[in-house]
A = this chain, B = another copy of it.
């Protein structure tokens, strides 16, 4: 039995007891057993890399029939301490399919002696956009202007100082455009202020200036516990209805300065936050040629799916290498251009597989990644990667495939 107390900045003041000490298997083998919390498509897509390298990867899935079912050795709630500690008992490293594991659960995991990558202190910033903004400013990294606002009056002050508009964000729980709203008056935020006040959090919202950007970029990297890191070329991400629709790798017409600045920011963030594993920094390229940090993810990311077929090392293999503290793989592209297009559940009935005969016959070079999820409208159910030498023709073909699948 062990007890402990961990104090995190601002929100957490955690006491815990843990039932059993962790019993790592390192004495038996140098290759670690890796436990992934969360059974979504990111965990699913780690499995091919795990099979190639014969890494022992186990998944704690939320439900039976999850996308990562093939790797699932347990099913349970990632918010439940006993479930997570039991799952962790037989692995050497814990990593994640998502960033939502509560800090008290993370703290208890660390206390058992299991390695946790990324660690709780790093994940904290991925879990809270206000903490992240404060850290970015502390690190001197370029961001949109922002403020923590606790009331409609404070919000109105910010809007008045920034051309009458801003992007309002809930600090926690947002994804794929959820928890993000463009506001032109503080009256548009009343419901959110009420909600955060009732949530038991600090009651604050994050507001950012509405950036005049020409396009969105993303920089994907990986970092080992000792600090070794590797970066893929900067990519352009294209959103539709607040969801990533396409990724162009590398970002077309990105001059050396923009690419270098994107990598400088990613490196500073990774080192500054002590990230371990794969992470992605979403960036704005502004009309006046600056690069600003928009969001950050501390896990394999949609903007990195192109690496599965377009890079020597995929982000999923790299993530497993990083969390197992193995040397990182080459991030060299395999082709001049790779285009990734997401497939959402659309108007067409049936599963993606129902369209295989048509799509495969028409596009024999399309690499299809099917998450095995029920195709509800708007839900990400898969993606395709297509490589080539001419951006416009590759992109046109990728969109055609997307439309065959989505209807």
A interface residues with partner B (beta carbon < 8 Å): 29-31, 44-45, 47-48, 51-55, 70-71, 312-313, 321, 326-330, 332, 334-335, 350-354, 356-357, 360-361, 364-365, 367-372, 382, 387
Establish whether residues A364 and B330, one from each chain, have CB atoms under 8 Å apart when the complex forms. Answer: yes
Interface centre among A54, A353, A365 (most CB of B within 10 A): A54
Counted per complex, copies of this chain come to 2
Q: Which residue of B lies closest to A352 (CB)?
A: B54
Establish whether residues B52 and A369, one from each chain, have CB atoms under 8 Å apart when the complex forms. Answer: yes
A354 to B: closest C-beta gap in Å: 5
A89 to B: closest C-beta gap in Å: 21
Partner of A54, one of B360, B364, B370: B370
Docked pose: A312 CA to B394 CA in angstroms:
15
Docked pose: A337 CA to B382 CA in angstroms:
31
Docked pose: A354 CA to B30 CA in angstroms:
5
Partner of A327, one of B353, B357, B367: B357
Docked pose: A55 CA to B382 CA in angstroms:
13
A353 contact set on B, CB distance < 8 A: 29-31, 53-55
28 contacts across the A-B interface (CB closer than 8 A): A29-B351, A29-B353, A31-B356, A44-B51, A45-B51, A47-B48, A48-B48, A48-B51, A52-B367, A52-B369, A53-B353, A53-B356, A54-B353, A54-B370, A55-B353, A312-B364, A312-B365, A312-B387, A326-B360, A327-B360, A327-B361, A328-B360, A329-B360, A330-B364, A330-B365, A332-B365, A334-B334, A334-B387
A335 contact set on B, CB distance < 8 A: 334
A321 contact set on B, CB distance < 8 A: 360
Docked pose: A369 CA to B360 CA in angstroms:
27
Establish whether residues B53 and A368, one from each chain, have CB atoms under 8 Å apart when the complex forms. Answer: yes
Docked pose: A382 CA to B51 CA in angstroms:
12
A387 contact set on B, CB distance < 8 A: 312, 334
Docked pose: A360 CA to B52 CA in angstroms:
14
Establish whether residues A54 and B372, one from each chain, have CB atoms under 8 Å apart when the complex forms. Answer: yes
Partner of A329, one of B326, B365, B371: B365
Establish whether residues B52 and A70, one from each chain, have CB atoms under 8 Å apart when the complex forms. Answer: no
Docked pose: A70 CA to B68 CA in angstroms:
12
Docked pose: A364 CA to B307 CA in angstroms:
15
A53 contact set on B, CB distance < 8 A: 353, 356, 368, 370
A360 contact set on B, CB distance < 8 A: 321, 326-329
A71 contact set on B, CB distance < 8 A: 70
A367 contact set on B, CB distance < 8 A: 52, 312
Establish whether residues B351 and A31, one from each chain, have CB atoms under 8 Å apart when the complex forms. Answer: yes
A364 contact set on B, CB distance < 8 A: 312-313, 327-330
A334 contact set on B, CB distance < 8 A: 334-335, 387
Establish whether residues A30 and B357, one from each chain, have CB atoms under 8 Å apart when the complex forms. Answer: yes
Known A-B contacts: A313-B364, A332-B365. Give 20 more (CB < 8 A).
Answer: A29-B351, A29-B354, A30-B357, A44-B51, A45-B51, A52-B370, A53-B356, A53-B368, A54-B372, A54-B382, A70-B70, A70-B71, A321-B360, A326-B356, A326-B360, A327-B360, A327-B361, A328-B360, A328-B364, A334-B334
